[in-house]
Structure 1
Amino acid sequence: MTRSPLPQGKLFLTDSGLETDLIFNEGVDLPEFAAFPLLAEPEGRQRLRAYFLRHVAVARRAGTGFVLEAPTWRANPDWGARLGYDAAALATANRNAVELLADLAEAYEGTDMPLSGCVGPRGDGYRPDEAMTAEQAQSYHQAQVEVFAEAGADLVTAMTMTTVAEGLGIARAAARAGLPSVVSFTVETDGNLPDGTTLADAVAAVDADTPPAHFMINCAHPDHFAERLSGAWTERVRGVRANASRRSHAELDEATELDAGDPDELARECARLREVLPNLAVLGGCCGTDVRHVAAIAAAL
């Protein structure tokens, strides 16, 4: 097994829409849209292992690296409290998540597989309803990031960020813990963050304070942001985890059935992003996607 601290130098795949895949395709009940409670039981851990191994197999066939992203998007104090997790229980869950991925990575030689500690937003992933300053965000997320560092994660990824302040706070928390960070913003159908900030301004604001290793975009269809990708700042965007659906976040919130889109069409859209994102190196899926979409992306690239 080869571990690199950051996905650099070649193409890396990552996984797809973990929560939507488990809920809609496998019939798993995930209260509060949280996958991390599955770590508490052998059956749940096995289900997570099987999910990741399906995706790792795609990367190995394609000859790419693979970013192992911890299933900890909801494993923070506010969401944890709704699920009955106190600080100690959350720390155990976050530690177990990294250890699960480390065990998976140990089984493979010759595949670059960095371990990423996933930090999700304090509030809803679609709405900036928990407005924090960067200082408050750092304080809020620091404990989770510290557990990732202690457990042996290679980096921290702030996923589905709806505001600059929260993304910056997590970048600061990672720097304090001695880990490189990735900040991944989500956008609405107009290509802007939910609070109206442009991607260009968001990248510039974080870079001016605590530059992460790179930026990503996730939880949006390429059609929603492709036309906004111009300027020198796009060199800092190295990853995309796209939604299968072209629906807005509000429409997805109300959906009772999965919109899996067309895996081949999504793959072509992701491949075209390389024309406007010169350093694009990490590709995977988000809501509505599964291993079929990641396999299609690998084939298209």
Structure 2
Amino acid sequence: MSPTPTLPQLSDRLFLADGGVETTLIFRDGFDLPLFASFTLLSNAAGYQALERYFRSYIAIAQTYQVGLVLESVTWRANPDWAAKLGYSSADLVEINRQAIALLQDLRQAHATPQTPIVVSGCLGPRGDGYVPAAAMTAEEAAAYHRPQIDSLREAGADLVSAITMNYVEEAQGIALAARAVGIPVVISFTVETDGHLPTGQPLGKAIEQVDAATERAPAYYMINCAHPTHFAEALPANAPWLERIRGLRANASTKSHAELDEATELDAGNPAELGQQYRALKAKLTHLNVMGGCCGTDERHIEAICQACLPLAWAHLSQPTLTF
């Protein structure tokens, strides 16, 4: 096994990420995504072109502000249990993961520059519901379950895998162990409820510390996603050592709880400018935070507002002249 490669976002540079792909495709573009599975669009021309347009919109923002970009593959639902509900086989999943990474690699080849490096991340989602930690696995079971998708994403050429919307610690731990076993960098992104705790009730810091202890710090870094900054800002104690492990944030546009979002029939896009300022405020506590994207309800407006709010901080940290907008 070759050494795990170094990721360009493990630096002080600002890297953007995309927004809420599923909510954008459903509410703005009018696509039907059964079971929230955006990978279903890879198989038809109209869907594939919509995905290209979606990712290019974020590439344009990154190029405008000359920052890096992490592109996340549309494979959040491309694991066996969810795929079976949609009628896809294990062989189908290998091809789906390959196509999803190939799309991002093609975009990188066409658009990456030294000023705008592009990182291709293979997205892993939870085996079960993203909000409800039912039928929890052991770490060993989670490693065995997610290993085939990690293998296929690595073989397809992903730079790393990112486990998004993890809601209990054993699944995150298993994914970290499986990724380490095959030598691909892994990022763990936890989701939290309105009290800043995981849906299991475990404090975020305890979850990060538990995964790190059980995996010898296998994750390259941690993220928080699918929660609004107001849900967890007060749950980040100043100067706690584990805060240094959080490098990424993909917040929701809405302040609604997970239960409220599940029942929503209309998109709550929140306030992009306010969200940008909330990211800027979080940077005071999360000193290593430099990968900034969005989750449910966010789109290009939110990501540009986040970039405008936080890029001056990144330049100041690098002792560069502060940009004005």
Q: Settle same-fold status: TM greater than 0.5.
A: yes
Of residues 48, 55, 58, the one that matches 2:58 is 55
- Aligned partner of 1:131 in structure 2 is 136
Give 1:125's aligned amino acid: G
Of residues 78, 81, 93, the one that matches 2:81 is 78
Distance 1:119 1:217 in 2: 14
Distance 2:76 2:222 in 1: 17
- Aligned partner of 2:124 in structure 1 is 119
Distance 2:298 2:281 in 1: 18
Question: What's the secondary structure of 2:267's corresponding residue?
Answer: coil
- Alignment of 1:271 with 2:276, yes or no, is no
Question: What's the secondary structure of 1:239's corresponding residue?
Answer: strand
- Aligned partner of 2:166 in structure 1 is 161
Give 1:167's aligned amino acid: A
Say if 1:229 and 1:276, in contact at 8 Å, map to a contact too: yes
Give 2:270's aligned amino acid: G
Q: CA deviation at 1:6?
A: 4.1
Q: CA deviation at 1:130?
A: 2.9
- Aligned partner of 2:7 in structure 1 is 5
Alignment of 1:9-158 (within 5 A): 9=11, 10-108=13-111, 109-110=113-114, 111-158=116-163
Per-residue CA deviation, residues 177-219 of structure 1 (Å, 9 max, x unaligned), is 2101000000000000000011110000010022200000000
Per-residue CA deviation, residues 227-282 of structure 1 (Å, 9 max, x unaligned), is 11121110000000000000000000000000000010111101111000010010
Give 2:56's aligned amino acid: L
- Aligned partner of 1:227 in structure 2 is 234
Superposed CA RMSD in Å reads 1.1
Distance 2:82 2:35 in 1: 7
Distance 1:213 1:279 in 2: 12
Residue-pair matches, total: 299
Distance 2:45 2:247 in 1: 35
Q: CA deviation at 1:8?
A: 2.2
Distance 1:4 1:53 in 2: 25
Per-residue CA deviation, residues 31-65 of structure 1 (Å, 9 max, x unaligned), is 10110011111221111010000011111111110
Give 1:228's aligned amino acid: A
Identity value in percent? 56
- Alignment of 1:196 with 2:201, yes or no, is yes
Q: CA deviation at 1:173?
A: 1.2
Distance 1:69 1:190 in 2: 27
List gaps (5 residues or longer) in structure 2: 311-325
- Aligned partner of 2:223 in structure 1 is 216
Distance 1:271 1:62 in 2: 16
Distance 1:293 1:129 in 2: 32
Q: CA deviation at 1:27?
A: 0.8
- Aligned partner of 2:317 in structure 1 is none
Give 1:176's aligned amino acid: A
Per-residue CA deviation, residues 1-30 of structure 1 (Å, 9 max, x unaligned), is xx9734122110000000001101111110
Give 1:200's aligned amino acid: G
- Aligned partner of 1:206 in structure 2 is 211
Greater Cα radius of gyration, structure 1 or 2: 2
Distance 1:115 1:5 in 2: 10
Q: CA deviation at 1:159?
A: 0.3
Give 2:161's aligned amino acid: V
Distance 2:40 2:28 in 1: 18
List gaps (5 residues or longer) in structure 1: none
